[in-house]
Homo-oligomer: A and B are copies of this chain.
Amino acid sequence: MRRDQYETRARIIKAMAHPSRLMMIDALEQGEMCVCDLQQIVGADMSTVSKHLAVMKGAGLVRDRKVGLQVFYSLRVPCITRIFACVEAVIDAERDRLMGREPEEPACAL
């Protein structure tokens, strides 16, 4: 596999690598939401939320749809939320390790 393909993957993963953006992705699993809804959820400045959304849109994670004054965002590929199960598996393994238990073959929720 070529380096630029890893760069493409990294761009998308980086677009998820922020707590506020993860919150939004999680929320959007329920369906499309306007920016104001997302702002409520992440509890940040309007301009900050808008920029986070621009990052995710640029990476192809979300799509936007304008309706009157509002802009509704939705996940372009809803199954992206399955990544969270993988991430949780790492968190679980880490917790086990810190508690002394280190399983030889860690369980995977997938």
Q: How many residues of A contact B (CB 8 A)?
A: 42
A76 adjacent to B93 (CB under 8 Å) = yes
A67 contacts partner chain B, Cβ-Cβ < 8 Å: no
Measured CB to CB, the nearest residue on chain B to A3 is B19
Chain A residues near B (Cβ < 8 Å)? 1, 3, 6-10, 12-14, 16-23, 26, 59-61, 76-80, 82-84, 86-91, 93-94, 97, 106, 108, 110
Complex: how many Å from CA A13 to CA B21? 12
Measured CB to CB, the nearest residue on chain B to A95 is B60
Enumerate 18 A-B pairs (CB-CB under 8 Å) in ascending A order: A1-B26, A6-B19, A8-B91, A9-B19, A9-B91, A10-B19, A12-B87, A12-B91, A13-B13, A13-B17, A14-B17, A60-B93, A60-B94, A60-B97, A61-B90, A76-B93, A82-B86, A83-B87
